[in-house]
Structure 1
Amino acid sequence: MVTATDATTAPRLSIRNASKTFGRVRVLHEVALDVLPGEIHGLVGQNGSGKSTLIKLLSGVYAPDAGADVRIDGAAVPMPASARELQKHGIAFVHQDLGLDLDASVVQNVRIGHYEAGRFTRRIRWRAEATHAARALATLGATSINPYATVRTLRHAERASVAIARALQGIALGTGLIVLDESTQSLPRDILRELYAQVRAIAASGTSVLMVSHRLDEILALCSKVTVLEDGRATVVGESTEGLSEADLTRLILGKSASAYLGGQSLKTESARRGKEALAALELAGSGLKGASFQVFAGEVVGVIGTSDSAYDVLPYVLAGSLSASEGALRIDGVELALRSLTPATVTRSGLCLVPGSRLGQGLAADMTALENLTLPRLHAKGGRFALRRGWQLSEFADAIRSLGLSPPSPDLRLGAFSGGNQQKLLLAKWLGNKPRVLVVHEPTQAVDVGARQQILLELRRQASQGVAVLVSSLETTDLATVCDRVLVMQDGRVVHELTDADVEPHTIIDAVYTGISSEIAHATA
């Protein structure tokens, strides 16, 4: 175990002997962790490493095994802690989905749980509450947010500000601890600079931050120290991030380098465009597209990227017939299809399959088993959901285990029993089962750990090696540089630039995307 501590400063948060057992299985093993005052401390690890369990112990969702000791500024926090105890000790949380009511106002979201009713009428004084909300937002520099605005009308960065302001309600600035639990996962990268500035300001005041994230670049950019969990154990504790690269941190998380994880294989083909044209987009217009045209050839992986208003993230759904477009056509294996009459069923029959970006919102059913989710697109053709024989389903599940390392290898478990990374693998395998000639994927590694990321990217490359045309729409420049033969850059609904060969590198992709746009936004984590 690698350990680094600062003996000169008493910790703001001290965790000792934190363990958790479910039945006969211990999922957390005597974890110890210190976060110093004013420190931004990263917590990383693969899916299933114990990060979520540790955060749920700290937030009072789970009761730890006997012997756990959690302290804030030396004062013991009873476990499991109630909301009142957490507030008393100055511990607040901002979770992955931000936990906002989109149809309520900013003031309602910020002040919920903190309303001050009139002394005699017991009615909420909304003008006073709006003042409190505005003051909380002002501490983050978010003075332009109207307290009376509906949260749904706010930009992503403004919504994050509302969630953080609410979390800070019970903390005197300069004291306490705020836990960011995958809070940046759903936020577009081009607006993260605002959030990062707020996190740095919080820490500069003396309030501590414990940051859980899969985004290694932001961990290295924001955190002064990092702790790594693996199989429920803290294998690296309080390691300084100074001088660490993403490759270094990847090695600490995986225990081996990314290249070793891939068995030394290159993810790039020696030459792109090895086969015939598999997909052509012809002047696509509508749903934010304004004349987008491009080709993808059999056997290559092509990336698509752009700013949040470029429609790069709309393109996959237009191609799949899920979003309407007013003009243009697709050509799939030489067959031209007008966009006006396109439906998802038509596209799928033509050989194009979409792996959507939201695995739970659009891709998988939470109340179904892994086997049902995996084989759902082919049930009708195979005889229906209630067919007595399911040998073909089990065969597909075995293929997913073999090709993607799907775990646990239990087909009848409900989806919730699988980690986020394994749910993402299941979603990819679900559509690979259709044997597509064109595979379109949107943010394929969103909110997955390093190991799952490598397996997913390797599978996309393997599909290309078998002649499939793969289109990857993503803001993850490292992913695109790792797996793509070409990268298409979109602006204002059109493809405006193409990167090939040596230009397909993270820094050249970023430069191409943000040409003419503030370099500060382009390099949000700098």
Structure 2
Amino acid sequence: MSESNSPYLLSMSGITKRYGGVRALEDVSFDTKRGSIHALLGENGAGKSTLIKILSGVVQPDSGTIKIDGDVVNFANPQEANDLGVSCIFQELSLLPDLTVADNIGITRPPHNKLGLIDYRAQRQIAEEALARVGGENIDPMATVSSLSLSRRQMVEIAKALARNPKILILDEATSALTAADVEKVFSMLHRLRDEGMAIIYISHRMPEIAELADTCTVYRNGSKVETFANGTKSDSAVVEMMIGREYSSVYPAKSTSSVASEPILEVENLSWNNELNNINLEMRPGEIVGLGGLDGQGQRQLQLGLFGTLIGSTGSVKVNGTAVKLNSPKMAKSDDIGIALVPEDRKYEGLMLSMTVRENLSFAAVEKMSRLGIVDSHAEEEAIDEMVKLLKIKADGIDGPVGALSGGNQQKVVIGKWLMTKPRIILLNDPTRGIDVGTKQEIYQLLQKLAAQGCAILLYSTDYDELIGCCDRVLVMYDGRIVRTLAGDDLNETNLVSAALNLPDQVAAQPEQNKKQGVSS
């Protein structure tokens, strides 16, 4: 009989899950109420993803009980979970890139006409309504998913989940790929859904998001529940200490004090491409960490791709160590004479071969350096991989297992390690800490400072302003395919980053009160 008087819409108790000898969850409980946003916190590998995979029917627990509305439920597959009102948005997108947006949104429950055929007009209407619900009215439901940016694809993923009309909505790092404008739309939507009585389970490593959204928080560590508490009752430092199990120190290490070389290692002059890059000029010196700021989609990604030799038809000149180079391909960019490496935006589609092993992924980009006469020196390969695993503290159940089985943070370490094995002098990083936990972020920040101290020049694009301020010596802010402002020293702060991202004149940012009187709006 249903326990209709239960205060919880969802109750999970005694949940245990092991993969071989690895404990993913051990006797874990979790409860959440209707009309609530409940945040799950913890490092990668803490058990959060396993918990929601169990709740969404992707995997089955070894033991434990799940109740929805007081009734015990068992999900053999995701469809059964969907049928009982559980819908999950995973960090890794589940969209089919060659199908339309409408096809993807309606794929699990397409509407049918009287003949039993798919009613495409009704399917398009469902897609339009779902997109409008998440603030994606400007997304064409008939566009193929492959034609959309990563941020737009993430909005489609959220719309797809809402089209199922769930009563429990789970979001796993669902905003990590979104632009700032889309994040605001999603936050408004989540507040509205909560007020309508939906139970929302929210996983994020971005503490400001948790502070803004969550009503309740639960922390997990090493497969066990640590504590549940009301949001706002504990400091960020206290929460992080619960997550990592040790005293929390400053997120950002001290910036490298090594003297920066006077001669640039990279000089770019008038780099342009397809009206998306417009006369880019920049210099970088060994030992510098230079940031790329600005709103998402202002040419930062194209700039890095251009420097890595993937943009056909770009114009302008590039010099490395004073010598003019023509970057026609990634192979040329990573060559010994140039030494450029790119850690891309999307580790799943651009950085890794998920079905291949950790070993194969790590050695892939540097295989030529470990080969003689076309034959890989297995001893040299083994030594290089072992060194990289230790340097980056990659946690894997053996390097001969598939890289897709690793946590998001460890996958990102493999992407970084793959390119470090090429011994680069210039490293391009595109949002390298997106969707990873605070402990792994700290390790990556420390690595960047170590690489800079060793003489690498690093070009870091990040959508996190705190990250740019904490890591970079100076930040180049881009707007409409141009570098509109360079910030360093005391000028490198959030106010200036935001105003420059909006391409406001310096005096507008410096004199807000005067601007208000003159009717200038930001």
Scaled to the shorter chain, the TM-score interval is 0.7 to 0.9
1:139 and 1:493 map into 2 onto residues whose CA distance is: 31
Deviation at 1:361, TM superposition (A): 2.2
Three-state SS of the structure 2 residue aligned to 1:313 is helix
Deviation at 1:344, TM superposition (A): 2.3
TM-score by length of 1: 0.86
Deviation at 1:142, TM superposition (A): 5.3
Deviation at 1:144, TM superposition (A): 5.8
* Equivalent position of 2:187 in the other structure: 196
* Equivalent position of 2:201 in the other structure: 210
Three-state SS of the structure 1 residue aligned to 2:265 is strand
Q: How does 1:41-440 map to 2 (within 5 A)?
A: 41-66=38-63, 68-78=64-74, 80-83=75-78, 85-119=80-114, 121-137=115-131, 139-140=133-134, 147-148=141-142, 150-151=144-145, 159-171=153-165, 176-237=167-228, 239-242=229-232, 246-259=236-249, 266-270=253-257, 273-287=260-274, 288-338=276-326, 342-349=328-335, 350-383=338-371, 387=375, 389-408=377-396, 410-440=398-428
Q: How does 1:372-521 map to 2 (within 5 A)?
A: 372-383=360-371, 387=375, 389-408=377-396, 410-516=398-504
| AA of the residue aligned to 2:44 | N
1:22 aligns with 2:24: no
1:490 and 1:459 map into 2 onto residues whose CA distance is: 26
Tell me if structure 1 keeps the 8 A contact 2:217–2:230: yes
| AA of the residue aligned to 2:36 | E
Q: Which moved more, 1:39-48 or 1:143-152?
A: 143-152
Three-state SS of the structure 1 residue aligned to 2:299 is coil
* Equivalent position of 1:3 in the other structure: none
1:334 and 1:325 map into 2 onto residues whose CA distance is: 23
2:139 and 2:481 map into 1 onto residues whose CA distance is: 29
Three-state SS of the structure 2 residue aligned to 1:268 is coil
Tell me if structure 2 keeps the 8 A contact 1:15–1:70: yes
Tell me if structure 1 keeps the 8 A contact 2:369–2:422: no
| CA deviations over 1:224-252 (Å, ceiling 9, x no partner) | 22212111011122x22226554443333
| CA deviations over 1:184-213 (Å, ceiling 9, x no partner) | 233233421112211111111111111122
1:62 and 1:255 map into 2 onto residues whose CA distance is: 27
Tell me if structure 1 keeps the 8 A contact 2:152–2:178: no
Deviation at 1:515, TM superposition (A): 4.2
Three-state SS of the structure 1 residue aligned to 2:249 is helix
Three-state SS of the structure 2 residue aligned to 1:489 is strand
Tell me if structure 2 keeps the 8 A contact 1:304–1:473: yes
| CA deviations over 1:413-458 (Å, ceiling 9, x no partner) | 3323432212211222222222222222221212222111111111
TM-score by length of 2: 0.86
Tell me if structure 2 keeps the 8 A contact 1:156–1:191: no
Three-state SS of the structure 2 residue aligned to 1:331 is strand
Deviation at 1:116, TM superposition (A): 4.0
Tell me if structure 2 keeps the 8 A contact 1:441–1:473: yes
2:498 and 2:272 map into 1 onto residues whose CA distance is: 25
Tell me if structure 1 keeps the 8 A contact 2:57–2:80: no
Deviation at 1:271, TM superposition (A): 7.3
Change (3 A) 1:166 1:338: closer
Tell me if structure 1 keeps the 8 A contact 2:6–2:69: no
1:129 and 1:438 map into 2 onto residues whose CA distance is: 48
Q: How many residues align?
A: 500
Deviation at 1:363, TM superposition (A): 2.5
Change (3 A) 1:514 1:259: farther
Tell me if structure 2 keeps the 8 A contact 1:269–1:485: no
C-alpha root-mean-square deviation of aligned residues, in Å?
3.0
Deviation at 1:301, TM superposition (A): 0.8
1:211 and 1:110 map into 2 onto residues whose CA distance is: 21
Change (3 A) 1:392 1:291: same
Deviation at 1:136, TM superposition (A): 4.4
Where does the alignment leave 5 or more consecutive residues of structure 1 unmatched?
Answer: 1-7, 520-526
